[in-house]
Amino acid sequence: MTGVLLLLAMTVSLQARTFEMEFWAGPDAEKDPRVVRVREHGPCSGKVALARITVMPPPSDKAALRPELAVEISSSGSIIRHWSLPVDSVVVAVVGQRLIIPLGKGSAGEKAWSISTSGELEPTTVPAKTNLERSVKCPVIPDFKGAYYVRCWEFNDIAPGSCAA
């Protein structure tokens, strides 16, 4: 009996989606292959880098791309979880482990980014139910010592099955 072995080789090209976002320009940002251009940030001193990314860069003062930081804090001010965000981001909703960041003013149905705590990005839209209006006094957060601008809001998670949904 003669056996025949048939091998099928398939090459699957899984290309990650690339998104353009601005981050604070760190050391040698101009040399980073993800960077499209570097410019002065209008309202604040410093430079921002427009970069093509597949995942949000982690926070680091020494990195070429330095994201802004959003955190969930306990009542004592300790950090529970954090997210990396593009420069000048405004959070309009918390949906499970993700923050929703609008590309415009934050109107319901408008294009937005969904950013996970691990930095995964997905295009989405601003949900109809948001609660940005609840600003609160910021507690002392040691990780933000020396930060130029800290603002705090209280959000309810609007993921299906959460108490606020």
- Give DSSP secondary structure letters for 41-73: -SSSSSEEEEEEESBPPPP-TTSSEE-EEEEEE
pTM of the predicted model as reported, rounded to 2 decimal places: 0.82
The reply to whether 161 falls in a domain is no
Mean pLDDT of 96-104: 93
As given in the structure block, the two tokens for residue 7 are 């091998």
pLDDT attached to residue 75? 76
Is 118 inside any structural domain?
yes
Q: Is residue 160 part of a domain?
A: no
pLDDT of residue 45: 76
| pLDDT greater than 80 at residue 84 | yes
Residue 13 belongs to some domain of the structure: no
156 domain-assigned: no
| Number of compact structural domains in the chain | 1
* Whole-number Å distance between alpha carbons of 67 and 58: 7
Q: Where are the alpha helices (DSSP H) in 39-127?
A: none
Range of the domain at 114: 19-144
Is position 126 within any domain? Answer: yes
